[in-house]
Structure 1
């Protein structure tokens, strides 16, 4: 970012409270340290508008190999004029610096999925302590939180949204859709957090967005393409979406573009695994519908012998499809919607 910035050693709460109108403040939330003495910190930026207003918090990543959201947030903040901004934009570039430095999804120190550890535990494993430090700051000052993600780097994926509904939040689907629509996602997936729902293993209610909803704060996820890369098209879409949310919140005068008039709401989705190993090949891409019993792709042996044509017994809509051709038994080859409808927003 080319904007002039003020560096601070203050804690986040003090830095946020004392940031001058029209300023850009850079700081760090201290978590702990390594044996060498090197500190474990969560970097943040605070862009304080010249006029009072709400706080939009952007979490650039919680998984260390998901990069596009960081770029989108930085570019969004670079394009804002503090003199015309009402309120504050906060960016926590990474909630998981240990995973980022290791170029991987999870911190190698404990292998926890950080987005299953919120609101965190200040006396827990290092991932629990990182999530506790971030959540303590965000829960106090954010009015809206957007958690940026990507699909992993083995898949083709177009930007899409994921949202959850908390029974005690007072925030309904329409409220979330009013913001999600600005990203023009190929689908908006409602994620079931009930125990045993089967979509993903682990503590799904421990997601950052769900725990913010539990505090009565609108929050959702944007999956901005594939991981371990910079996709400028996805970044630009993310920037436009963030502008739209800021306009929706009354922080800026107008969005960069008109929001979507319809969203494709996905009520149920699943991963498709392969029973055979080999080389996977497909012409299918995200947002394509594949009819029942039609192959999602083909798998051949390393010598070219046909092995399998994985298919589903019902029509599916592709959310992500494998681009890494090397597959083993049990590997994911596709992420598909099983139930979807178009809704006006």
Structure 2
């Protein structure tokens, strides 16, 4: 207990969290037209022992609910009495979109294109600024949890700057089936956080508005393995982390005609360039066009939409780096 009292409390918003304790914090965002307040929910696990400060967030896109469950299970597995360092968990960043089941904010802005934000900008810009100042600025590592879009599930994967040694080490520790060297997008949380010096992993798995067991398990295990690699928790006694396949390029196979789609591949399948991966038919079942892989690699995303138009994304293939 003496060591707990010796460690400083953690300041966030207008509260302080004592070492060796967990505290839920509400960071004010805005007020509804009805007069109700909207706040950003944060849970801080401030360990007794010193160590890294890490954040984990989900639902920057309001319909990407799977990460909320991952964070719930991660928090249930941690104790502030044994944690070394501090975990700042934000299960729902886009609170208004989450309540409405929408990817976007009420003004149709994409929150993940609004970072680092501004205290006097749009609602999206203000939420981004709040997250950057109260969460990112206090942390050295971030885990940003996402899913695929509606009816477009993703294979569990980590997207990160694999040319940065520290980030790559954490990506390897996560142990997702695939880790993809991905460039950052303007206005994204990952871009803004990297510019502060934080190492950021973006996890993709499952699809919007659904809980899928496999990507949840992969996400929970991956987050806990990253915390173990940082020395914040003890390494589990189970099997070592899976070895992730590395990809530096990926691309979507797109429909060349409009039709009803019949896919012949699943997530995680390895396909050779030129292989038939599906077909398009008309409403009477007459074949309109076959669909072939345009590159060799692993299927990391696909569509479940039965009807596609010319140009629609069908299958996402990541080219594996044999080196």
Give the structure-1-normalised TM-score.
Answer: 0.84
1:192 CA drift (Å):
2.5
Partner residue, 2:217: 236
Partner residue, 2:6: none
Query: Secondary structure at 2:292's aligned position in 1?
Result: coil
Distance of aligned partners of 1:262 and 1:182 in 2 relative to their CA distance in 1, 3 Å threshold: same
Matched, 1:210 2:191: yes
Q: Deviations over 1:126-184 (max 9, x none)?
A: 1111111111112221121100001123124320011137xxxxxx5331122222332
Aligned partner (choices 118, 134, 137) of residue 134 of structure 2 = 137
Partner residue, 1:308: 289
Structure 2: gaps spanning 5 or more residues = 1-10
Contact 1:60–1:94 (CA<8 Å) still a contact in 2? yes
Matched, 1:271 2:252: yes
TM superposition outliers: structure 1 runs of 4+ over 4 Å: 256-259
Q: Find the aligned partners of 1:269 and 1:79 in 2 and give their Cα distance.
A: 34
Aligned partner (choices 22, 25, 32) of residue 23 of structure 2 = 25
Aligned ranges 1:1-345 → 2 under 5 Å? 12-15=12-15, 18-107=16-105, 109-164=106-161, 172-193=163-184, 204-255=185-236, 257-260=238-241, 262-337=243-318, 339-342=319-322
Q: Find the aligned partners of 2:58 and 2:149 in 1 and give their Cα distance.
A: 15
Q: Deviations over 1:314-337 (max 9, x none)?
A: 324311122221222332211122
Contact 2:296–2:317 (CA<8 Å) still a contact in 1? no
Contact 1:240–1:257 (CA<8 Å) still a contact in 2? no
Q: Deviations over 1:26-59 (max 9, x none)?
A: 1211121222222232111011112222211001
1:251 CA drift (Å):
1.0
- Tell me the C-alpha RMSD between the 2 structures: 2.1
**Aligned residues between the structures:** 314
Q: Find the aligned partners of 1:313 and 1:83 in 2 and give their Cα distance.
A: 52
Q: Does 255-264 or 312-321 show the bigger shift?
A: 255-264
Structure 1: gaps spanning 5 or more residues = 1-10, 166-171, 194-203
Query: Secondary structure at 1:309's aligned position in 2?
Result: strand
1:235 CA drift (Å):
1.5
Distance of aligned partners of 1:147 and 1:313 in 2 relative to their CA distance in 1, 3 Å threshold: closer
1:259 CA drift (Å):
4.5
Query: Secondary structure at 2:245's aligned position in 1?
Result: strand
